[in-house]
A and B are shown apart, each in its own frame.
Chain A
């Protein structure tokens, strides 16, 4: 054998493609339909009365179904965040950008969302923000109906008011 023949094949590329059909279920369907109407719909736990946005149909804290629907506004508080500075093939947005935990007013659990319309150095815990929606004709049953959140001209929320929801 020549040297080239005895060398190990060290790497070959075999791309995989994954496509999913997602069955939303009852709670996510309500939420996604709300998104298509420009509304943010959550569900209240009948036991601990906490409001879940987006709703998952149950409260994992109490182990009970959540079936009481609540609409919450598009305003909320950044409870914590990071500034993403490295690129990722699977994201549509270029770094640097701010990925924040946002606790909507009237909700009792934060979710991840993008912050725009301000420099990333100005983002802080407690900052007040609002949802920026896509144009009405582009609304659909997807979280992408909300483009991002942007700061609003309100004093920061005190740490005590959101410390349970970091």
Chain B
């Protein structure tokens, strides 16, 4: 029987296009210090540090965690880096939680970050490989054909993506940490923004951000002294699948479906749409909201767009999605997954301020990465499992 794990401290940075006021370790410390303050703990209370970030090529620094252990108070303690491409922020939290659940540590600091301004992720994602024509222009170039495939399969109304983007951009205005805020943004502004990777428009795309996120995870016993109600981890799950095989459904990947099924089973959830009160989902391009609604079993295949259309995923809907403004509003890649997990925990702790879903008791955090091949998820609750 696994030990219980609670989130007792959460911190995130001010996310922005260029945080030139801090170094990369400084950025991490900003988030970590806030998480420690939230937990009313100090660096010496931490038993181990688990860090995550996206591929090293994105910033051009190999194994930055080697140089950062000191800044993260890890001297004399275990430090471990997790790496699962864009889903890394989520899988980092899952690995950190497992150290508590296994009874190995009482308090683990988990952090994730990206300082996109220090290099060029678009360049890093536009590599030439010898057995493929060099035409995949960044993540948008990879995912746009999959979005077109979803549109053709589902016959969703063409403005679904615009509606998702507008919702998330309005939500971001309620999140003090969000990077991209467009006061007065409306449907026409999103619709008229230029196509970057047709069918993806500029305002349907995530920004490039500098930012970090941190959480202090605690055992049940150590959480007794927590000043604020913890978010209890009900279940975690991770799955992967190969990038290329014949018949692979990249629009609705099997690994995502399997990951969600395992997550709900472990948490005793039989009707996710009804039992989950808020979800923070990795949506780097607006159309991924309906796609993931289906993949996560919130909607039947081909009908995810109806949730957006009916307002079900709005802040006042029956399953509010990305109340924080999501990845569309802040995208420090390595931290983006952990922000989803942390925002889910903030919801069940009642800490989400203006973007709080009233009375949220169970929330889902989700991250995906690579060519839609790595998935990490957790469900957190206000009550102990």
Contact = CB atoms under 8 A, between A and B. Distances in A.
Interface in A51-71: 51-52, 54, 56, 59-61
Contact of B134 (A85, A92, A111): A92
B359 interface: no
A51 B145 CA distance: 22
Contact of A88 (B138, B146, B148, B200): B138
B152 A91 contact: no
Nearest to A143: B133
Contacts of B185: none
B88 to A, nearest CB: 21
Contact of B20 (A11, A32, A92, A109): A11
B152 A159 contact: yes
Interface in A1-40: 8, 10-11, 14, 16, 22, 24, 28, 31-32
B132 A143 contact: yes
B152 A125 contact: yes
Interface string A91-106: 1110101011100000
B137 A88 contact: yes
Contacts of A165: 246-247
A10 to B, nearest CB: 4
Contact of A109 (B122, B152, B246): B246
Interface in B104-137: 120, 122-123, 126-128, 130-137
Contacts of A90: 123, 126-128, 134
A57 B363 CA distance: 43
Contact of B197 (A79, A83, A166): A83
A113 interface: yes
Interface residues of B, number: 45
Contacts of A166: 145-146, 149, 152-153, 249-251
Interface string A134-166: 000000001110101000000000010001111
**Chain A interface size, under 10 / 10 to 19 / 20 to 34 / 35 or more:** 35 or more
A109 B148 contact: no
B123 A32 contact: no
B195 A32 contact: no
A24 B44 CA distance: 50
A143 B132 CA distance: 6
Given A143-B131, A144-B133, A84 B141 contact: yes
Contacts of A143: 130-133
Contact of B246 (A11, A31, A50, A93): A50
A54 B135 contact: no
A139 to B, nearest CB: 15
Nearest to A166: B149
B242 to A, nearest CB: 4
Contact of A85 (B126, B152, B198): B198
Given A97-B135, A143-B131, A166-B251, A82 B246 contact: no
A81 interface: yes
A32 B251 CA distance: 30
A97 B132 CA distance: 16
A3 to B, nearest CB: 16
A83 B194 CA distance: 12
A118 interface: no
B70 to A, nearest CB: 20
Contacts of A50: 246-247
B246 A48 contact: yes
Interface in B233-259: 242-251
Nearest first, the 10 closest Cβ-Cβ pairs linking A and B are A82-B144, A50-B246, A60-B242, A10-B20, A166-B149, A83-B198, A61-B245, A60-B245, A108-B246, A80-B145
Given A81-B148, A91-B126, 12 more contacts: A14-B60, A50-B247, A60-B244, A80-B148, A82-B144, A89-B123, A99-B141, A109-B246, A109-B247, A112-B136, A120-B198, A163-B153
Interface of A: 8, 10-11, 14, 16, 22, 24, 28, 31-32, 45, 48, 50-52, 54, 56, 59-61, 79-86, 88-93, 95, 97, 99-101, 108-109, 111-114, 120, 125, 142-144, 146, 148, 159, 163-166
5 contacts: A60-B244, A61-B246, A81-B145, A86-B137, A114-B135
